[in-house]
Structure 1
């Protein structure tokens, strides 16, 4: 039965009777460029590596909710005009022009996923309409909106911030092209200062493209559609929601501004590196004051800086924070560091402290914690930690990828309710709110990117020319750098390792060195390998292993002896099970039965407990970093299996439609963390 192939841990699936990864030739799209479009670079400035995209330092996106008093903000969330462009008329007919008549376009909510605009029964287990509706529209679509910033926005440095557009976006303001972005799960900022018209009507147009997964979603002879430089480059078993899927907002600062604060902590110490940027055309003097935050015991420090036009500087400071408490899952204490730029006395009103007026300020939260590998142990604040974790996908039946805050709270509170202390963001970066929640609630996070199921050819292209793999891991580390909840970086999931081992190693080495170059906290690096014998495990700080013993291969009891063999091969590395799980029937009449009967909830629960007990065996705890169940909730996919139940993979602790818990929910909840 097709529903058995609900998680492709060995990289194959059945689509009716056709083995699509080998039996049907793929339709390959021509790459659109020789290099990823963001022009991602790392530049060493004052001894600190700074991430650049579009020729400017990548700013902080904490401001999506943490608005600064010295800045102007304008949310663009709401109703936008929307039109599909199946014949690629948009460019020739100039749908991006300010005066283009979009009066006959439909109105749709942003953020939103166009998959849910008009798809019958999208969130149900009824597959009778699978293949119908906007969920299966691929190619180009356009979004347009009007806005009117007031005159206070004049002579400001203005960024247009997108928290997520899937998959590729081309952005225009008042008819002017301002930038292209690739990667649906990474925020990006575009400088629109010269095109903005304060006090007038302005128009933003966004062209969005999603590659098809197949040339047909219902034919038994469907051919996969690939693009060698996209990530993922071929169909994968999660739903790649399309559209402006996360919030959009405008942010205006002084031309002299704080772009980013980087933090690293030790034992009651804090290091800050403040990225300051003079976007103006005049040389300026500023005083930078950095405050490590209330209740830390740290005192503010200041430094005079001089900035030439267009210059970026990084100011480093060290603080004693003797009153600070450690961030732990049990007590996730957070602090706020603020960096403020003051004008010189001759450039504005003098403040009460005798220095000039505030030119710009930026704050970010942080936690005092350390994460490290010590031999075969993973340690948090110097103590060995065991990660009881869940994989999960960012989607709901009601809103697809464009989840509401209430939906995030519901999902993530389920993680807390089953006594997990860890989530793996499989297989992409999440909305900033997820990291906020994890920081505040003590959830540890393995952050992940879209490097899923690459083959040797694509690994080589990413390393040697296109560079999107590198760009995405750099963005991940830079954007989440201050998050105490994020304890590890993951580089890839189940990609090709055997065809050319040197290509594979070069790809991983390139990404690992990129992450290490910007992460001043030096978090461990891992990836989710599909093999216990990965030839590049020596490069990993923590061995990440997706395992499906007794499901796809061998027997359940082979897990324990395999873990022991992996440990013998790599005695000084912690081992983390990054995936393990099994499916269960969705149909009411088939749900329950014997633990030995495939597909029953009893079978799913027993399988989990069997593997959990082997991982947490006291003889293996010296080197086991944790166990991550696949998956929190059933999830949607367009890969071709389970069409009869609407393309839903039924491996979750809960159902997709109503989040009804399965038997394994309580079994997982009652599985005691061995270090508690």
Structure 2
């Protein structure tokens, strides 16, 4: 699925703004059958939960409804008219006037509908979008719904971030010719100073295809014809971390000499490889520095915001970060486009967070249900998970910034049934994209002794909190535990190790002369202890602090207005830890630090 872009043969109308808004039950049995009877308006893109003061809206479990009138440009006569949603969290239904035109399950990937037969150029139609936030044992991410004694439906979930919902990303109307380009796939490699570009073009009907490669100055450097083939770029400029260089693949459908449709796909020429205990980009060892992040800001929730996008990337550059993980779901496409242009490396993750009932048992202090079973996470769950992988790779396959797929965060990989669940998913990811390594982020319960699936993956990604959840306040013990485990994973699997999460909560302005958890000083000391262990473990190829910024979570007595592990506050002010990371990371230059540094 190509992202909507204006071209000489395509036009795009952005439908962001204020929409009529109502929750289920307040707008009649068929909210799409006429104008919404509501005084409320909601911003798009934004999560709806924090927009209003009514707790019944914030805590609503079920469907909500967005509606607006849309006018089709009168110049679109003879064109196909397509409606696209960048995301609807977690389920979407789309109605043009009274007719259902699209349904989608999964809250972070796009879907669209050809609505040509239902609209007319110059005419107006009523667009109604239903968004459901319900999570069950067969959704990705999973959850359960309970009913309180007074009849209120309540959503329970296993991920430690607030379950924001709504239209958090843009909605578009766009036109394409009757015969048009449906999809483009670009795979690159390097042969000395020559770049090779394998391309595949899918069209809506048999057509004559012509392709050209333009460099950053707009100069044509390669050309070919046919719907698939290989292009060679002499004296290529590779895409590199911190030094992004993008080419344009211009694809035309032609009829004789007339261009029927044209689309420009940016791409970078680079290679990714795992060799022994090294992670290589363009054949050179790469050391990840950066964060797990969240799409999370005040008021907007998970709503995409270009101002925060720019500022967050500026802060990552300031602190010396070269990478981040899209924890714990695919981020907005604008984020990956920005990373492509600015040379930031991305680990791209599905929304499979919470596939772990051992966490549920640990928090409750009682034996837990088996994570993988017919009654818990089962074949239907895996089917939804597989679709999430398909949609992630289909959307993000052409981004040079994306160097690895992360299939899940903290699944119960040490439990019986984990291998039967994950082995087909790893095979699917490799089939869909054999060019990128595949990983998952392992929970602390899964050690190198007990984990059942790590041999299926390319990189050992570990979420480890020695000194916070284990050996709390005892950093001498924590450092020894961590180093011992890192060496255990390296000896057993002989693969690169990325510490994909490590962190400690800190309340800004809370200080102590002792190692007191929740203070800024303890967060500093915690990070330093972890870094000493990383630097002594040869197989470690990167460190992603949890988290870039404080973020909102569900209600819980173990959280103080959300998760406070950010090195920046939720409104992006640096804690002391941010300055310490800057001192460490700005001198590394993508290199592995040495223990003596």
Q: Same fold (TM over 0.5)?
A: yes
| Matching residue of 2:200 | 274
Alignment RMSD: 2.5
Shift, 1:416, TM fit: 1.3
CA displacement, residues 615-634 of structure 1 (integer Å, 9 cap, x when unaligned)? 122xx33x222111000111
Native 8 Å contact 2:68 2:127 kept in 1:
yes
CA distance in 1, matches of 2:404, 2:514: 35
Q: Distance in 1 between matches of 2:210 and 2:262?
A: 9
Number of aligned pairs?
Answer: 550
Whole-angstrom distance in 1 between the partners of 2:110 and 2:518: 39
1:14-53 matches, within 5 Å, as none
Find 1:327's aligned residue among 234, 239, 247: 239
After superposition, the Cα gap between the structure-2 partners of 1:223 and 1:139, relative to the gap in structure 1 and judged at 3 Å, is closer
Q: Which residue of 2 aligns with 1:480?
A: 396
**1:599-655 C-alpha deviation (Å, 9 max, x unpaired):** 2110111101110121122xx33x222111000111101152356x43x11111011
Residue 663 of structure 1 is matched in structure 2 by 576
Matched, 1:652 2:566: yes
Which segments of structure 1 move beyond 6 Å, counting only runs of 4 or more? 212-219
C-alpha deviation, 1:466, in angstroms = 6.0
Q: Distance in 2 between matches of 1:367 and 1:638?
A: 39
Q: Distance in 2 between matches of 1:562 and 1:419?
A: 27
1:217·1:638 contact (CA, 8 Å) conserved in 2? no
**1:406 counterpart = 2:307:** yes
Partner residue, 2:447: 532
Structure 2 residue 519 is the aligned partner of structure 1 residue 600:
yes
Deviation of 1:177 after TM superposition, in Å, equals: 0.8
Q: Is the 8 A contact 1:117 1:134 kept in 2?
A: no
Give the match for residue 374 of structure 1.
275
Q: Is the partner of 1:185 in helix, strand or coil?
A: coil
Separation (CA, whole Å) in 2 of partners of 1:199 and 1:662: 53
Segments of structure 2 that go 5 or more residues without pairing to the other structure are 136-142, 356-370, 472-476
**Does the 8 Å CA contact 1:80/1:144 hold for their aligned counterparts?**
yes
Q: How does 1:308-457 map to 2 (within 5 A)?
A: 315-344=227-256, 355=257, 357-454=258-355, 455-457=371-373
Aligned to 1:311: none
- In the other structure, the counterpart of 1:585 is 507
Change (3 A) 1:273 1:627: same
1:255-311 Cα offsets, whole Å, 9 max, x none, are 2111121111111333343333336xxxx6x321101223687321123xxxxxxxx
Q: 1:631 to 1:118 in 2, by over 3 A?
A: same
Query: Pairwise mapping of residues 92-241 of structure 1 onto structure 2 (< 5 A)?
Result: 92=29, 94-97=30-33, 100-102=34-36, 104-119=38-53, 132=55, 134-211=57-134, 225=155, 234-241=157-164
In structure 2, how many angstroms separate the alpha carbons of the residues matched to 1:442 and 1:515?
24
Residue of structure 2 in register with 1:76 after alignment? 15
Q: C-alpha displacement at 1:150, in angstroms?
A: 3.1
1:629 corresponds in structure 2 to 545
Q: 1:101 to 1:316 in 2, by over 3 A?
A: closer
Determine whether 1:518 maps to 2:439: no
SS at match of 1:629: strand
Q: Distance in 2 between matches of 1:86 and 1:492?
A: 35
Structure with greater contact order relative to length (CA < 8 Å, sep ≥ 6): 1
Deviation digits for residues 214-239 of structure 1, max 9, x if unmatched? 879999xx99745xxxxxxx342111
Q: Is the 8 A contact 1:438 1:485 kept in 2?
A: yes
C-alpha separation in 2, matches of 1:422 and 1:595: 32
Q: CA deviation at 1:595?
A: 4.7
Helix, strand or coil for the counterpart of 1:635? coil
Contact 1:270 1:319 in 2 (8 A): yes
Is the Cα contact below 8 Å between 2:22 and 2:65 reproduced in 1? yes
The Cα offsets for residues 498-518 of structure 1, whole Å up to 9 and x where unpaired, read as 332xx3113222222222222
Name the residue aligned to 1:612: 531
Distance 1:159 1:149 in 2: 10
Secondary structure of 1:451's counterpart equals coil
CA displacement, residues 318-350 of structure 1 (integer Å, 9 cap, x when unaligned)? 111113211112311111111100124xxxxxx
2:210–2:224 CA contact under 8 A, matched in 1: yes
Structure 2 distance, partners of 1:223, 1:235, is: 17
Deviation at 1:196, TM superposition (A): 2.2
Q: Compute the displacement of 1:422 (Å).
A: 0.9
Q: 1:552 to 1:642 in 2, by over 3 A?
A: closer
Q: Is 1:548 the counterpart of 2:449 in the alignment?
A: no
Residue by residue, what CA displacement relative to the aligned partner does 1:640-673 show, whole Å, maximum 9, x if unpaired?
A: 2356x43x111110112x3221111111111143
Q: Deviations over 1:563-608 (max 9, x none)?
A: 111111012x11111110111135x4xx111251122110111101
Normalised by the length of structure 2, the TM-score is 0.87
Distance 1:667 1:133 in 2: 42
1:333 and 1:367 in contact (8 A); partners too: yes
- Whether 1:294 and 2:215 are equivalent positions in the alignment is yes
Provide closer, same or farther for how the CA distance between residues 294 and 214 of structure 1 changes in structure 2, counting only shifts above 3 A: closer
The more displaced of 630-639 and 111-120 is: 111-120
Question: 1:458 and 1:240, CA in 2 relative to 1: closer, same or farther beyond 3 A?
Answer: farther
Distance (whole Å) between structure 1 residues aligned to residue 376 and residue 38 of structure 2 = 46
Offset of 1:81 from its aligned partner? 1.2
SS in 2 for 1:298: strand
1:574 maps to 2:496: yes
**In structure 2, distance between residues paired with 1:142 and 1:398:** 19
1:488, CA displacement in angstroms?
0.4
- For the residue of structure 2 that corresponds to 1:652, the secondary structure is coil
Q: Counterpart in 1 of 2:423?
A: 509
The 8 Å contact of residues 20 and 42 in structure 2, kept in 1 or not, is answered as yes
